[in-house]
Amino acid sequence: MINPRDLTIKKIQDGLLSKKFSAFELAKEFFSVAEEKNKDINAYLSLDKDQALEAASKIDVKLASGENIGELAGVPLAVKDNILIKGLQATSASKILKGYKSPYDAEVITKLKSSGAVFVGKTNLDEFAMGSSTENSAYGVTRNPHDLERVPGGSSGGSAAAVAGHMAAGALGSDTGGSIREPASFSGVVGLKPTYGAVSRFGVAAMASSLDQIGPLSKTVEDAAILFKAIAGKDEKDSTTVDADYSGITDDPSLERVRGLTIGIPEEYFGEGLDGEVADEIEKAIDDLKSLKINFKKISLPHTKYALAVYYIIMPAEASTNLARYDGLRFSPPEEKNREGLLDLYIKNRSSGFGTEVKRRILLGTFVLSAGYYDAYYLKAQKVRSLIKEDFTEAFKEVDVILTPVAPTPAFKIGEKTKDPLKMYLSDIFTIPANLSGVPAISIPVRGRDGKLPVGFQLMGKHWREKDLLDIGRLYEKI
């Protein structure tokens, strides 16, 4: 009997190789769970059963003929619906892309297909990845599998819920200001935002191009390493990517090496606004890591207090530019064709096609880029962003890794923050600095929270040093 609840990516590979189950049987079981649970959770916007079962059958043929298969062969994965898969819908959870099907694969999908991964379906998100709760989707709210009255986090809430609800063995999300790590924390899974440039962004619907990054969500840190290794690498179609050496990223962690690392605790992340329960859980995680005899040191990241303000100038500015291409004509047919001229057509299509939060950010971004305000807002924000980056540069001269909370609170109730955008934006206050500075960061569930709402702690590392984060996380899971 296959029980998706018990299966990690690593266990799936072992099960396929030992003939405990076939890839076809595995895919059928995951679809059975997904079809049943999705009625309540709404993690998936679409399921692609026929294509998935066909892909799984091809893996079984390879196994029967004795061919070698990769670590992701036959593994059922979920994909955020702003990442393109050829022939499948790509709505970015927006009405303006309703009915659009991608004519090509994102680079990460090309890599996963070559590794034999099986795609269960496309997951829900905040429209165009703008949100922290997956309540901004044009296709309904996603619910947290741990408590259906609460949000799963956002914007990759559908991907996090699919993994937490055992509807996929792993998933892809995108992270612009915390959109992988915050839902990972709220949903009790692992979420990795790689170094900016480690993973190709070709084929992801861009929101803020200097901040966006694709990354994995998974049940374990080991699985996150496997997924990350599969999608990382230089891509000629994305000039920001770098050919970093990740060859040993999935090797077993060395306790001796990890004990040689120093973890920094920034005072700015543990003050006012942090929920008491979350603070206590982070302290427990720190104590567990200290039991491994890892060194800790108090540090300061003094410009952290400006990160949220900087982000909500730079991100909307880039988003307003990127979303200018969506006019309701080129990517999907307009709902009404009887318009009074082209301008009227654009105005009405964009007005009806975009949701409230997307409109808010387009207006804000257009404002800060407009004549007379560019220097006062956008240019100043870029200068402060440089100071935030410098904080990390200086901190990493003293420490190797930085540990913080992921979010100020556990998962909040659906509807609790929708009427106050500022309260919603504050959910990302601890995750945004990693995007502004481009460093890798991971959310790892605090151990021993069975029966309680999940809480995650965040590790941030030096550029291209995902292995430090992953090795610490893997050793933490074994305590």
Residue 402's H or E segment, with its range, is strand 401-405
Alpha carbon separation from 253 to 72, 355, 470 (Å, rounded) = 20, 45, 8
Whether residue 189 lies inside any domain: the answer is yes
Whether residue 127 lies inside any domain: the answer is yes
Average pLDDT of span 317-333: 88
What CATH number is associated with residue 195?
3.90.1300.10
Q: Is the pLDDT of residue 49 over 90?
A: yes
Q: Is the pLDDT of residue 61 over 70?
A: yes
d(CA 407, CA 88): 33
Q: What is the pLDDT of residues 197-244, one digit of tens each?
A: 999 999 999 999 999 999 999 999 999 999 999 999 999 999 999 999
Q: Is the pLDDT of residue 331 over 90?
A: no
Whether residue 77 lies inside any domain: the answer is yes
What was the pLDDT predicted at 224? 98
Q: Is the pLDDT of residue 79 over 60?
A: yes
Q: What is the pLDDT of residues 428-469, one digit of tens each?
A: 999 999 999 999 999 999 998 888 999 999 999 999 999 999
Whether residue 163 lies inside any domain: the answer is yes
Q: Is the pLDDT of residue 7 over 60?
A: yes
In this prediction the pTM is: 0.97
Catalytic residue among 133, 155, 159, 185: 155
Query: Could you please report the per-residue DSSP string of 105-139?
Result: --HHHHHHHHTT-EEEEEEP-SGGG--SSS---TT
Q: Is the pLDDT of residue 5 over 80?
A: yes
Whether residue 146 lies inside any domain: the answer is yes
- Determine whether 437 is an active site residue: no
Strands 295-299 and 262-266: parallel
Average pLDDT of span 315-331: 92
What was the pLDDT predicted at 344? 83
Average pLDDT of span 260-281: 96
Q: 192 pairs with which residues across the strands?
A: 442
User: What is the domain count for the chain?
Assistant: 1
Q: Domain range for residue 74?
A: 4-255
Whether residue 459 lies inside any domain: the answer is no
- Determine whether 386 is an active site residue: no
Q: Mean pLDDT for the chain?
A: 96
- Determine whether 159 is an active site residue: no
Average pLDDT of span 392-413: 98
Q: Is the pLDDT of residue 336 over 60?
A: no
What was the pLDDT predicted at 308? 97
What was the pLDDT predicted at 346? 83
What was the pLDDT predicted at 337? 57
What was the pLDDT predicted at 22? 97
Whether residue 35 lies inside any domain: the answer is yes
- What whole-number percentage of the chain has pLDDT above 70? 98
> In the numeric block, which tokens belong to residue 104?
């090509």
Number of Cβ atoms within 10 Å of the Cβ of 354: 23
Whether residue 300 lies inside any domain: the answer is no
- To which residue do tokens 């307003």 refer? 320
Average pLDDT of span 279-299: 97
Confidence of residue 338 (pLDDT cuts 50, 70, 90): low
Average pLDDT of span 369-378: 94
Catalytic residue among 94, 179, 187, 332: 179
Strands 456-461 and 262-266: unpaired
Confidence of residue 392 (pLDDT cuts 50, 70, 90): very high
Catalytic residue among 80, 122, 417, 462: 80
What was the pLDDT predicted at 30? 98
What was the pLDDT predicted at 347? 85
Q: Is the pLDDT of residue 334 over 70?
A: no
